[in-house]
Structure 1
Amino acid sequence: MGNKAERHRAIQEIVRREEIGTQKELVERLRQLGFEVTQATVSRDIAELGLARIALGKGRHRYVLPAADLPENAYEELKRQFGLFVRDVDRGGNLLVVKTAEGHASGIAYLLDRLRRDEIVGTLAGDDTILVVARTEEAAQALEDEFAGLLVEGRALRRALSGS
């Protein structure tokens, strides 16, 4: 059933309404709707639609649409994610390297990008590392200071959640 445009519309609707955390779940859901798809096709669709996979905590993730399905206050969500999953921040010149728990870098980079801050040129995320490119060394220093504050808050949050 359906062509690529119909499949993309279906994916957007599924992601908007449901908590889909893996490509396998999305493949299964599309098949329920009558689309004959493979994981490889869904992987390409995810990239073409610009979907991001963000961490929900406790090992759960969710695909979200670009600039959509973010909490009302993206900065508050960034603070929460940063606090729970960022392990270290380092700076060299106008570049920042943010180390995260495994599997959480892309979700945090996505939130940084959605903030559309002028001092951030862009981000690049791997599995557990984010490269943040700042416009200037001064901007990078200010971001490093801000991130360090979030890291301190995050450590307190992690201690509170773990009960220690």
Structure 2
Amino acid sequence: MSKERRQYFLKKLITEQEVETQEQLVMLLNEKGMDVTQATISRDIRELNLVKVPLTSGKFKYSFIAENNDHAQYKKLLKKTQEVVVKFDSVDNLIVLKTLPGNAHVIGVLLDNVNWDEMVGCVCGNDTCLIIARTKEDADIIYNRMTKTSF
């Protein structure tokens, strides 16, 4: 299983449940058919910038660091875009990305994580990702963000 897929499910679990320990995360992911170890989860927690926050019950749960999360997600998107996107094209409010084979879905997940208001959504296949912007101007903004060469 890919790291992106595992981290997607990890984020989903953190969002939907009050997860208190790494062991609990391992168990929940194993129940979903993902063979993960505590060491892998520990690395994922660091990469996803997860922290433990207090609950009213006095217990703690994993949560996302609110500040800088958007910037961190954007940095991941920009880095991966530079690694796997071979061509950008834009028509009206649509942006089409051509990636190395098998990488479009990775870009799609990262795009979903940045939560840009200008983006309605994206549809990705094996090596093509279609980004739908609200307007032509919004498409230009997204295009410029994604074609930056540094953070």
Number of residue pairs matched by the alignment: 98
Equivalent position SS for 2:105: helix
User: C-alpha displacement at 1:147, in angstroms?
Assistant: 2.2
Say if 1:119 and 1:139, in contact at 8 Å, map to a contact too: yes
Is the contact made by 1:87 and 1:100 (CA closer than 8 Å) also made in structure 2?
yes
Quick one: distance in 1 between partners of 2:48 and 2:85? 19
4+ aligned runs moved over 3 Å, structure 1 = 26-30, 69-72
Partners of 1:89 and 1:147 within 8 A in 2: no
Q: Which residue of 2 aligns with 1:85?
A: 84
Query: Aligned in 2, Cα 1:28/1:115: closer, same or farther, shift over 3 Å?
Result: closer
Task: Give the counterpart letter for 1:104 in structure 2.
Answer: N
Q: Which runs of 5+ in 1 are unaligned?
A: 1-7, 21-25, 31-63, 154-164
Offset at 1:27?
4.9
Identity %: 30
- TM-score of the two chains, using structure 1 as the length reference: 0.50
Structure 2 unaligned spans of 5+: 1-8, 14-21, 37-43, 50-68
SS at match of 1:149: coil
Which residue number in structure 1 is paired with residue 132 of structure 2? Answer: 133
Distance in 1 (alpha carbons) for counterparts of 2:89 and 2:48:
27
1:117 equivalent to 2:116? Answer yes
Give me the whole-angstrom Cα distance separating, in 1, the residues matched to 2:34 and 2:121.
Answer: 34
Q: Distance in 2 between matches of 1:29 and 1:138?
A: 44
Cα RMSD of the aligned pairs, angstroms, is 3.3
Q: Corresponding residue for 1:99?
A: 98
